[in-house]
Amino acid sequence: MTITCKQLLQNHTQVWQEATVHPFLEQCKSGTIQPQQFNTWLVQDYLFVVDFTRMVGRILAIAPPDHFDVILGGLSALKDELIWFKEKAAARQLDLNVQKQSTCTEYCEYMYSLATMPYPVQATALWSIEFAYNQGWQLLGMMPEPYTEFVDRWGNPGFTEYVKLLEQQADEVLNTASDTVQQQAESAFLKVAQLEKAFWQMAFNATQ
């Protein structure tokens, strides 16, 4: 049976919830997150997005031409996002020229390893990563300042629609993928979920 993104979510409800619902986000919602925790997330997420942008560029290189528009739209948004991260870091007087923490390094190395996988696997991973951000920042609803704009960046209707288009593209290529490739795509989905959970926890564990 052909697997779909929706089926992945249905088959792994608990795993996905742990990737998108976390005390880090809940404390952003309540306004009780500590500056060091949030700043750690902000800096490490910038470093992650740098490598994520490279990943999306590699995906574009092997994507079918009719998928170009959506992926190029994502790359354009990532250009703006990297600039935005630099502005947020500057406002908080944070140095972005730091080493990745081990959790961030593991995530970035995994994204690089995806370059050896078939396109349906990479398309599933891309959707999973973007959907995790979309869900994580959207599920709790509006947050107080200064976190409101973070919710708006990844929870806004435009980004939600982009994620839906990524889902459609992943489903399209999974539909004709072999059983082996579909299993690899499911493994990628589970790995992304695990890494997302670990990333929130890394920031949550940050201390002065």
Token pair 């290189």: residue: 61
- Spatial separation of the C-alpha atoms in residues 191 and 16, rounded to whole Å: 11
CA angle 34, 36, 41 (to 5 degrees): 100
Q: How many CA atoms lie within 13 A of 52 on its CB side?
A: 25
pLDDT at 142 over 60: yes
Q: Are 57 and 126 in contact (CB under 8 A)?
A: no
SS3 for 147?
Answer: coil
pLDDT of residue 72: 98
pTM (2 d.p.)? 0.96
The alpha carbon of 87 is separated from its chain's Cα centroid by a whole number of angstroms, namely 20
Which pLDDT tens digit goes with each residue over 143-167?
A: 878 888 888 888 888 999 999 999 9
- Spatial separation of the C-alpha atoms in residues 41 and 144, rounded to whole Å: 17
What percent of the chain is predicted at pLDDT more than 90? 88
pLDDT band at 207 (very low <50, low <70, confident <90, very high): confident
pLDDT of residue 41: 96
pLDDT of residue 80: 94
pLDDT of residue 38: 95
pLDDT at 208 over 60: no
Which pLDDT tens digit goes with each residue over 67-79?
A: 999 999 999 999 9
pLDDT band at 15 (very low <50, low <70, confident <90, very high): very high
pLDDT at 9 over 60: yes
Summarize the confidence of residues 176-184 as an average pLDDT.
Answer: 97
Which pLDDT tens digit goes with each residue over 97-139?
A: 999 999 999 999 999 999 999 999 999 999 999 999 999 998 7
What percent of the chain is predicted at pLDDT more than 70? 99
pLDDT of residue 200: 97
Could you give all domains of the chain from N- to C-terminal order, each with its CATH number? 34-204 (1.20.910.10)
pLDDT of residue 135: 93
Shortest CA distance to 104 belongs to which of 48, 22, 188? 48
- Tell me the two tokens of residue 19: 């990737």
Neighbouring residues of 17: CB distance < 8 A, sequence distance ≥ 6: none
CA angle 100, 89, 163 (to 5 degrees): 75
pLDDT of residue 97: 96
First to last CA, the chain: 50
- Spatial separation of the C-alpha atoms in residues 36 and 95, rounded to whole Å: 13
